Chains A and B, each alone.
Chain A
Amino acid sequence: MKSVTVIDYGTVNLGNIVRGLERVGACVRASMDSDEVRQADRLVLPGVGAFAAGMAELSSRSLDHAVIEAAQAGTPLLGICLGMQMLLDHSEENGSHRGLGILAGNVKVIPREGVDGSKRRKVPHIGWNALQYPPNRSHWQDSCLAGIQHGEFCYFVHSYMAVPENPNHILAQCNYEGLAVTAAIGRDNITGLQFHPERSGPHGLKILKRFINH
């Protein structure tokens, strides 16, 4: 059985991501032990809530260094929602906060103003939105999104968005009222999903299944 360690840093309810991974056949262990994180076969970094609080919880348990080391050692790592945003260098959520720096880039607030300056975009972005290829991509075969159709809907809930430095690290985006919002990022063994695969129905489960089997 495929074994996955879900990083437990105290701030989130892990039940649903654990249930989602189990549903697709993973043997799941939730852990807040940095040694276990270093030795994991696969890692999931979940997260909801505020960036600074999430980073503080990770570092108070020395999990930040453990995740960075595991990522450098090639362990498949999946960050979800806040867990995805923390993979980046830096966030502007309520100030200026340093992230894990596993992928170069920043986390910025979703602007309420549209391109014409007048339109009121609701923040947080809550709901189902379609996954789209970014400008430089035409397939997802090399990623966790393999088998997902362009235009497939997933469930988002967030007020901040990831802006990777290298556009090639954007795997998928979605259109939120005229704004291209990063939906998935990744390179090599690292994947980050802004949406919640464990809340995105059968297609979300498919993404989790692909993660545990590759």
Chain B
Amino acid sequence: MRNVRLIARLDVKAPNLVKGIQFEGLRKLGDPNDFALRYYREGVDEIYYEDIVASLYERNSLLDIIEKTTRDIFVPVTIGGGLRSVDDVAAALRAGADKVAINTAAIKNPGIISDVARRFGSQCMVLSIQAKSQGDSWESYFDNGREHSGVDAVEWAERGQSLGAGEILLTSVDQEGTGKGFDLSLLKAVSDRVDIPVIASGGMGCSQDLANAVKVGGADAVAMAHVLHYGICSLPELREACRLEEIPVRHSMHVDSERAA
């Protein structure tokens, strides 16, 4: 089995870290850099920043935040939200991101997936899918779960892979921010269909949800926000929980980066 990645998801409305429920009712939580640094020191595997207002180039935008964060954080950083072109992706990578997650622009122009993969490599191109349940299927949404596309989420994942996406970030719009667990049928439907890694996102409330996402849903990685931001679980606790569930993860490392380096 692969080592499951624990990813901290930071939704940013610059300059603040925010968190909502089903992408609505946002609360300000503080400086995203403080949270990112804490998670790094607790041994997070990756950090995912999402600019929820897609204001990439405004003053004090997410790109400025990333530039500052990546001076102190030496794990992979992904950025999403508002990336519309290959040039936007280049700007994100220059600011210090390792990968980009694209949703809206890919739905409007699927060719951007291939363009980004060709220019920067598939490993850099994460297809972000916001899926909302429609009975026995799921529809892809965009603009933070506000607009629907008419595109079937599972088929979209498969097409994204064939266009060159290296990973799928799969967020359940229904579960997002509820803490009631991931949409496991959605996860399973997508991870059964694609060969590339699938990141579960939206709904994590406790360590059991993480175990279910991996064991039932087939997730390769788990993105979590409010369980970390509100201190419901710490990363060392989650690693311990994974070990008890026999889910392989990176060894726990409490990090004092200055000393260890």
Give A contacts to B, CB under 8 Å.
13, 15-16, 19-20, 23-24, 48-50, 112, 120, 122-124, 126-130, 151-153, 155, 157-159, 176-177, 196, 198-206, 209
Contact = CB atoms under 8 A, between A and B. Distances in A.
Contacts, number: 108
Interface stretch (B71-79, B105-113, B141-149, B182-190): B71-79
A151 B3 CA distance: 13
B75 A205 contact: no
B84 interface: no
Contacts of A130: 251
Interface string B168-180: 0000000000000
A48 B121 contact: yes
A15 B91 CA distance: 12
B74 A198 contact: yes
A176 to B, nearest CB: 8
A155 B43 contact: no
Contacts of B74: 16, 20, 23, 198-202, 204-205
B250 A153 contact: yes
Contacts of A13: 93-94, 96
B122 A127 contact: no
Contacts of A120: 195
Nearest to B94: A13
Nearest to B121: A49
B197 to A, nearest CB: 5
* Chief secondary structure at chain B's binding surface: loop
A127 B195 contact: no
A199 B260 contact: no
Contacts of A153: 3, 250-251, 253
A152 B43 CA distance: 13
A199 B98 contact: yes
Contacts of B71: 19, 23
A153 B248 CA distance: 12
Contact of B221 (A127, A159, A201, A203): A127
B70 A15 contact: yes
Nearest to B99: A157
A127 B2 CA distance: 8
A41 to B, nearest CB: 21
A24 B261 contact: yes
Contact of A123 (B3, B120, B124, B195): B195
B196 interface: yes
B50 interface: no
Given A15-B94, A49-B121, A205-B257, 17 more contacts: A15-B95, A122-B196, A124-B166, A126-B5, A126-B197, A127-B45, A128-B45, A153-B253, A157-B123, A199-B74, A199-B98, A201-B74, A201-B253, A201-B257, A202-B261, A205-B74, A205-B261
Given A50-B121, A124-B166, A201-B255, A206 B261 contact: yes
A205 B70 contact: no
A127 B257 contact: no
A66 B74 CA distance: 30
A15 B97 CA distance: 9
B209 interface: no
B93 A177 contact: no
Nearest to A125: B2
A64 B57 CA distance: 37
Contact of A124 (B120, B196, B251): B196
A177 B76 CA distance: 22
Interface string B218-240: 00110000000000000000000
